[in-house]
Chains A and B, each alone.
Chain A
Amino acid sequence: MKKLINDPFDMVEEMVEGYVAANDHIIKRVGKRSIARANSPIQGKVGIVVGGGSGHLPAFAGYVGKGMADGAAFGNVFASPPAKPVIEATLAVNGGAGVMYTYGNYQGDCINFDKAQDKCREMGIKVQTVVLNDDVLSAPKDQAHKRRGIGGLFLVWHVAGAKAEQMASLDEVVAVTNKANANTRTVGVGLTSCIVPANGKPTFSLADDEIEIGLGIHGEPGIKRVKIRPIDSVIDEIMDAILADLDYKGSDVALLVNGLGGTPAEELYVVYRRVKQICDANKINIKFKHVGNQVTALEMQGTSVSLLRLDSEMHDLIKNTTVDTCMYKKV
């Protein structure tokens, strides 16, 4: 294992210390593993608290700042944070209008965030939760509630953050976040494994000529392993799965071609080229487009494609909101 670290068991602690110092114009530390916007709590604004395991930056802490999230909790690598940092972030961002938790659908995150939610409600804070489940291939359509949350969170949080920035009520922010989640689909493909630092070895192995379709962002196995082949035909398969799950034909969309951490930007543009061709052929109008590493899996090579089907409300929210977070900006 070659990584820019000291003791692997100190990695998250040292990362958080550096992260907070590097972004101290945007955020403040509110606990050992929790951060909040520097100017929080903002009176009358719904606070959005995100979080999950480390190893996915820019997700999740990277989106704390104006226009997206207000606070975040860091877990260990690929492990949900305990309830404690979630509670710390909640207390820090609660400006009286309530707090929304939003995170990907994993058992650990659900248990720990629910525990934090219970505790904060006992303290009299209004808390609601929207769990994201955009990963099409992680469960069949009739069991969509079991699907994992992956790259699509970047698009959903755009909408959620914009609504909260307009000083909407907690119910309104929750409603639009649910709507965005319901209209978002993602499929990924992994080319290599990744190394959890404290483990020191690759999580799994893929042969040199194999890729895995549907691979999760923690290296969870996908639905099938296939021989490496020209990427256009892989993207065709990914887009087929997305378009078969939700009717995007003729719609306006926000789109993310996401890198998993170890794939060069050049390759992501080759992917985007094919995605664009398929959208054009299906009369899908790309209103907002993003190409780059957003929801990563350490140094894993691969990509995921996410589409958010927009209505006029979600379109205008994204269009009219300035975003200035630690790791993502939009004018």
Chain B
Amino acid sequence: MANVTGALIAKSLVLVAKKVEQNKDYLCELDGEVGDGDHGVSMTIGVRAVSRAAKDLPANCTPSEAFQSAADAFADEVGATIGPLYEAAFAAAAESVKGKQTLNEIGDWAIVYRSMANAIQVLGKAQLGDKTLLDAFFPAVDHIQALATKGGDLESALLSTAERALKAAKDTRNLVALKGRASRLGDRAKGHQDAGATSLAVVLKGFADGVKKG
């Protein structure tokens, strides 16, 4: 089993970036149906900066430092709504595991994900069901929390958590948007999958694959 050090999280962030960029066109397409069509672009600009920063981290960095570098990258390069949201999320992740050298327990990741989702909610002021990335994130957080209580293998826990997020992202089709640009559409947004929820699922999959690769 992988030893999840700061260096491995840095490597995982690079993988997250790669996966998000691979999905750029798909995310733009989803966003273009109801928003302004740039979600894949904003995320790509952000994760490119994240990737650059992660590669610059020292080999002995802590998990907290790795997450903080991602927060700083989003803060300086992205703007939009998604920039501050991911900045806040990664900063909260960094804060939540301060002092830890490794994140080898499912419970560690439950804390990281919950801190991230809470920070996004505080800043974005969205509720569950508003058709935002939280509609993918909170079900995933509940899922990993349950696994942490039950115990088990970290790699498969992270993978099934990412799958839970993806399923929840697909379920946003049934929701009416109450936040962001799409909120002005009312029922016209129904039937469309939320781009932010989808990219969040991609991010979680990146972490799962990164930890699995070791």
Residue positions of A touching B, CB distance < 8 A = 9, 53, 75-84, 106-108, 111-112, 115, 138-139, 146, 148, 196, 198-204, 216, 218-221
Contacts and interface: CB of A to CB of B under 8 A. Distances in A.
Interface of A, secondary structure class, is: loop
21 contacts: A53-B79, A76-B45, A76-B80, A77-B38, A77-B41, A79-B42, A79-B79, A79-B80, A79-B83, A82-B75, A82-B77, A82-B79, A83-B75, A111-B124, A112-B79, A112-B84, A196-B41, A199-B32, A218-B37, A218-B181, A219-B32
Contacts of B124: 107, 111
B179 interface: yes
B188 A76 contact: no
Interface string B125-156: 00000000000000000000000000000000
A76 B36 CA distance: 13
B81 A80 contact: yes
A151 B54 CA distance: 41
Contacts of B180: 107
A292 B188 CA distance: 32
A75 B24 CA distance: 19
Top 8 closest A-B pairs, CB basis? A203-B37, A218-B36, A79-B80, A108-B81, A198-B41, A108-B80, A82-B79, A75-B79
A96 to B, nearest CB: 28
A199 B76 contact: no
A82 B76 contact: yes
Given A80-B81, A82-B75, A107-B179, 6 more contacts: A80-B79, A108-B80, A198-B45, A201-B28, A201-B32, A220-B36
A139 B184 contact: yes
Contacts of B81: 80, 107-108, 111
Interface string B11-43: 000000000000011001100111111101110
Nearest to B44: A198
B32 A203 contact: yes
A182 to B, nearest CB: 20
Contacts of B78: 76, 79, 82
Contacts of A202: 32
A146 B79 contact: no
A110 to B, nearest CB: 9
B36 A203 contact: yes
Interface string B172-213: 000000011111110010000000000000000000000000
Given A9-B45, A79-B42, A196 B37 contact: yes
B123 interface: yes
Nearest to A9: B45
A284 to B, nearest CB: 28
Contacts of A196: 28, 36-38, 41
Contact of A76 (B76, B79, B123): B79
A220 B35 contact: yes
B181 A220 contact: yes
B123 A111 contact: yes
A195 to B, nearest CB: 9
A76 B45 CA distance: 9
Given A80-B81, A82-B78, A218-B181, A204 B37 contact: yes
B131 to A, nearest CB: 13
Contacts of B84: 82-83, 108, 111-112, 115
A221 B184 CA distance: 9
Contacts of B123: 111
Nearest to B36: A218
Contacts of B76: 82, 84
B18 to A, nearest CB: 16
The residue in A75, A81, A82, A199 that gathers the most chain B C-beta atoms within 10 A of its C-beta is: A199
A108 B79 contact: yes
B49 to A, nearest CB: 11
A204 B32 contact: yes
B162 to A, nearest CB: 25
